[in-house]
Amino acid sequence: MNLSDINGKISGELSIAAVSSAQYVVPYLLARFRANYPEVHVRLKVCNRRQALERLAEQQDDLVIMAMVPEDDRLVAMPIIDNELIAVVWPEHPLLLMPQPSLADFARHYVLMREPGSGVRNAFEQMAANQQVALPHCIELGTNEAIKGGVMAHLGVAVLPRLAVQLELEQGLLFELGLPDFPIHRSWCTVYTRERLPTPVAELFLSFIREHLPDYRRHFQAPSSPLPSHGVACLPILSP
């Protein structure tokens, strides 16, 4: 890790693990950060929640980005972006014709779900358990993208992060189904253990996120649109 006060350049490595639902957010955070600090090399590992917790316990990364952070005094968590989980169906699905569909009505259909250990699946199963609704008809698919495609192919219904399906909702390819106690609200957070203090580059990244959080939140809450240009071309820096 090199911090140069003489020329103001910062170089080093930033290792991040992110749960798969956060893959729709993390690239935006990294892009703006690297536009300001292009000599920082970034490594991003995408995994499910169970794997993220394992990596956090083993301190394999500088930071972990996840939702549903365990209540543990040994962890330092900073909420960044709201993660809304919504029920989605294909256009003209019979549930859209019901005046007040319930979670029990939803569960009578084939429900497309991620593998055990997924944070989205855990949150949905917890909601179902709280409402005493069984989920007897589940089809397990490995990624949110596969689940999204499965709903559009009329394979089943699903609960997914709003950001994962925002474009499909705007284009009318999917529809949000209003269910009691939905959306499920969670927040993606940056997390690290107190036993491993952030490296200078990781601390710089955390400070950068805190500084620009209002801009990011406005972007993700608005209809889909490109981020404003940061004026930096995505080209590698070549040594003279």
pLDDT digits (tens, 9 = 90+) for 162-188: 989 999 999 999 999 999 999 999 889
pLDDT-based confidence at residue 23 (cuts at 50, 70, 90): confident
Structural domain includes residue 236: no
pLDDT on residue 226: 65
Q: Tell me what pLDDT residue 231 has.
A: 60
Q: Give a yes or no: residue 114 inside a domain.
A: yes
Residue 146 lies in a domain: yes
Both 103 and 35 in one domain: the answer is no
Indicate if 113 and 50 belong to the same structural domain.
no
Residues 55 and 10 in one domain: yes
Question: pTM of the predicted model, to two decimals?
Answer: 0.81
Q: Provide the domain count of the chain.
A: 2
Of the candidates 219, 40, 20, the residue with the CA atom closest to the CA atom of residue 30: 40
Per-residue pLDDT at 234 = 57
Phi-psi region of 186 (alpha: psi -120 to 50; beta: other; left: phi over 0): beta
Q: For 169, list phi and psi in degrees, rounded to 5.
A: -65, -45
Indicate whether 65 and 123 sit together in one domain: no
Other Cβ atoms less than 10 A from the Cβ of 189: the count is: 21
Which residue stretches of 90-238 are H helix? 103-107, 119-130, 144-152, 162-170, 200-221
Pairing assessment for the beta strands 75-89 and 157-161 based on DSSP bridges: antiparallel
